[in-house]
Structure 1
Amino acid sequence: MNDNSKTRALMRRGIEFLGSEYAILCGAMSWVSERNLVAAISNGGGFGVIACGAMTPELLDTEVAETMKLTDRPFGVNLITMHPDLFDLIGICEKHGVSHVVLAGGIPPKGSVEAIKAFGAKVIVFAPTLALAKKLLRSGGDALVIEGMEAGGHIGPVSTSVLAQEFLPDLAADHLVFVAGGIGRGEAIAGYLEMGAVGVQLGTRFACATESIAHPNFKKAFFRANARDAVASVQVDARLPVIPVRALKNKGTEAFTGKQREVAGSLDREEIAMAEAQLQIEHYWAGALRRAVIDGDVENGSLMAGQSVGMVREEEPAAQIIATLVEQCEDALVRR
């Protein structure tokens, strides 16, 4: 009987930090990472994270309460730093005693980290450069996620393997670092744990779990796709610093190029300010994602997926996905 002791030993700090059976976070995927998938992942031994995305405080309030009815295990909430109601959303997390808050999508605004820590929650941050990572960890971040460009959704410009080699030797001894982006199998998890990561984050691998509410059409598109089908969006205008998004190629990816042109035109004519322009782009993604995930419009909606999509072949329960990843990881560590 395999007790996964090598995996647990290398994940020990991550497990203690998260309070889960394994230090396997689920990436927050808008519309997908909701109560059903989040609870299934936490119940299955991982750590589920609600994707707040563009939710209003009222919607988040309901989502957290409903998730708590489905699991008594810890889970987190992912908040987008540019959300206009960020502090109200933090208030909702406080109201429910959420244990971990993930701040994504930019540098946390002044006072946000303090507001989260004030009610005893742990703060997980993202950083694209080592200098910024150190700054965020110094100013209150309890753990860091480094996410490579292989990931689905909003991505940075550097691959996971390079980020891991840059960040882990420098940070792993004193800080908790999770690695994300393009992870589809346990052998890769083993490698990052050996480099000093305390755990990993996967999104794409969980998107088509049995408990995921994603439309059957959305899941079928994932099962059919290969790594090369998950492409990054193109930036149309240098003044519109749109973070590239990785998604499966379809009419929706082309429509986004048109949307950028439209917003850039509004900027040209000085009809909107830069912050509003970026918010319009964010809302565009929320709508396009909804069309694909909820309505099943896989032609015109956004099929956000990481390059590990080629490893997603069928629907499986979240607990089974976690068990398989851990087993593969343990086997790799034992072989070494």
Structure 2
Amino acid sequence: MTAHDKTLALMARGREFLGTETAILCGAMSWVSERNLVAAISNAGGFGVIACGAMTPELLDAEIAATKTLTQKPFGVNLITMHPQLFELIAICAQHGVGHVVAAGGIPPKGSVEAIKEAGAKVICFAPTLALGKKLLRSGADALVIEGNEAGGHIGPVSTSVLAQEILPTLAEDNIVFVAGGIGRGEAMAGYLEMGAAGVQLGTRFACASESIAHPDFKKMFFRASARDAIASVQVDPRLPVIPVRALRNKGTEEFTAKQIEVAKKLDAGELDMGEAQLAIEHFWAGALRRAVIDGDVEGGSVMAGQSVGMVKAEEPVAEIIAALLVESEAALTKRSAA
């Protein structure tokens, strides 16, 4: 990999932290980031991350075991901090000797970071603001991911470029910080590395890899999409909270807007109380991601994708995706150093 000296040098801290050839992580995508894709990314020199999502401890146990049969390289596990069995899931990771646990979906509950570290694993947390990033590091996080709202799936309100400018100059020199959200090419990766990032995380770019088990119709929707097709969910009524999610526009997203209007009217008419109304909104997308990824229901399901989806044009092996990112990054760094 000597052809990528500049890029790998900038990734040195991230590579050491992850134990990998490159500091390129794959974002944990529910139903997509399973044993096949995770192992392929790790085998290609990146860092695969199992998306635990709503798995039970028994399912996670089986998934980690299966992944270990496909790769001898390091990989991580992404745990949702609000999972009702979080500590049981942490114990499963410990039993398997998982070296890195990503805590996602909110601030880790009391005792969870300590439980992860007691087993010798590193803790990676998401930091949507500088203040929270500092707090997470003080609380024991070993590394941070700053992810902008260009990303697919659940998103915050601030763009990657702004978060990077706010957080990297303050925290990156003394801490491991990975940048995520909207990264689809190596030139962007190079820019964040130059700003001090230890590495990057990509999800959308890997979702349609040859090794991804996503349904062919799911992948075809990615190939046809442009950046503007990846839209954030809209909240129609302030009384009915909507968790912001970025996904490709389809019949489901249109029906969700109509559903909110319908529920708001029933709320106004007294046909539903507030609790019933909010549950109706929350339940709308139940199982929708699985329907899209596994069953291929790309009109009624949730086709989560980041704005970099416009750069995903064909099914490619993971190794070729990572190689292209490195080539693009090295060319950009070489050009700038020669200027």
Q: Smaller-chain TM-score range? A: over 0.9
Q: CA deviation at 1:258?
A: 5.5
Deviation larger for 185-194 or 80-89: 80-89
How far apart are the structure 2 equivalents of 1:312 and 1:188?
15
Matched, 1:140 2:156: no
Q: CA deviation at 1:261?
A: 6.7
How far apart are the structure 1 equivalents of 2:90 and 2:47?
19
CA RMSD of aligned residues (A): 2.2
Question: In 2 relative to 1, CA 187–286 (structure 1 residues): closer, same or farther, beyond 3 Å?
Answer: farther
How far apart are the structure 2 equivalents of 1:7 and 1:304?
30
How far apart are the structure 1 equivalents of 2:171 and 2:183?
21
State the match for 1:170 in structure 2: 170
How far apart are the structure 2 equivalents of 1:151 and 1:40?
22
- Opposite residue 161 of structure 2, the aligned amino acid is S
How far apart are the structure 1 equivalents of 2:96 and 2:235?
39
Q: CA deviation at 1:91?
A: 1.1
- Opposite residue 178 of structure 1, the aligned amino acid is F
TM-score normalised by the chain length of structure 2: 0.93
Q: Secondary structure at the match of 2:82?
A: coil
Residues 210 and 316, structure 1, Cα contact 8 Å, conserved in 2: yes
Q: Secondary structure at the match of 2:14?
A: helix
How far apart are the structure 2 equivalents of 1:263 and 1:70?
47
Matched, 1:269 2:269: no
How far apart are the structure 2 equivalents of 1:136 and 1:75?
22
How far apart are the structure 1 equivalents of 2:311 and 2:91?
38
Residues 53 and 286, structure 1, Cα contact 8 Å, conserved in 2: no
Residues 240 and 277, structure 2, Cα contact 8 Å, conserved in 1: no
| 1:62-98, Cα deviation, whole Å (9 max, x unpaired) | 1111000000000000011111111111111111111
Q: How does 1:54-69 map to 2 (within 5 A)?
A: 54-69=54-69
Matched, 1:129 2:129: yes
Q: How does 1:75-224 map to 2 (within 5 A)?
A: 75-224=75-224
How far apart are the structure 1 equivalents of 2:213 and 2:40?
12
Structure 2: 5+ residue runs without aligned partners?
none
How far apart are the structure 1 equivalents of 2:213 and 2:70?
15
Q: CA deviation at 1:243?
A: 2.5
Q: Secondary structure at the match of 2:326?
A: helix
Q: Secondary structure at the match of 1:4?
A: helix
Residues 156 and 243, structure 1, Cα contact 8 Å, conserved in 2: no
Q: CA deviation at 1:284?
A: 5.5
- Opposite residue 254 of structure 1, the aligned amino acid is E
State the match for 1:233 in structure 2: 233
Q: How does 1:238-257 map to 2 (within 5 A)?
A: 238-257=238-257
How far apart are the structure 2 equivalents of 1:175 and 1:262?
48
Matched, 1:45 2:45: yes
Residues 154 and 244, structure 2, Cα contact 8 Å, conserved in 1: yes
How far apart are the structure 2 equivalents of 1:294 and 1:184?
24
TM-score normalised by the chain length of structure 1: 0.93
How far apart are the structure 2 equivalents of 1:284 and 1:64?
30
- Opposite residue 319 of structure 1, the aligned amino acid is A
Question: In 2 relative to 1, CA 245–271 (structure 1 residues): closer, same or farther, beyond 3 Å?
Answer: closer
- Opposite residue 80 of structure 2, the aligned amino acid is I
How far apart are the structure 1 equivalents of 2:239 and 2:83?
21
| 1:175-206, Cα deviation, whole Å (9 max, x unpaired) | 11000000000000000000000000000000
Q: CA deviation at 1:242?
A: 3.2
Q: CA deviation at 1:286?
A: 5.7
Question: In 2 relative to 1, CA 126–271 (structure 1 residues): closer, same or farther, beyond 3 Å?
Answer: same
How far apart are the structure 2 equivalents of 1:77 and 1:285?
24
Q: Once superposed, which parts of structure 1, at least 4 consecutive aligned residues long, lie more than 3 Å away?
A: 239-242, 255-266, 270-274, 283-286
Identity of aligned residues (%): 78
Structure 1: 5+ residue runs without aligned partners?
none
- Opposite residue 22 of structure 2, the aligned amino acid is Y
Q: Secondary structure at the match of 1:102?
A: strand
Question: In 2 relative to 1, CA 308–32 (structure 1 residues): closer, same or farther, beyond 3 Å?
Answer: same
Q: Secondary structure at the match of 1:107?
A: coil
State the match for 1:330 in structure 2: 330
Aligned length: 332
- Opposite residue 269 of structure 1, the aligned amino acid is D
How far apart are the structure 1 equivalents of 2:260 and 2:80?
20
How far apart are the structure 1 equivalents of 2:133 and 2:263?
31
- Opposite residue 273 of structure 2, the aligned amino acid is R
Question: In 2 relative to 1, CA 259–107 (structure 1 residues): closer, same or farther, beyond 3 Å?
Answer: farther
Q: CA deviation at 1:255?
A: 3.5
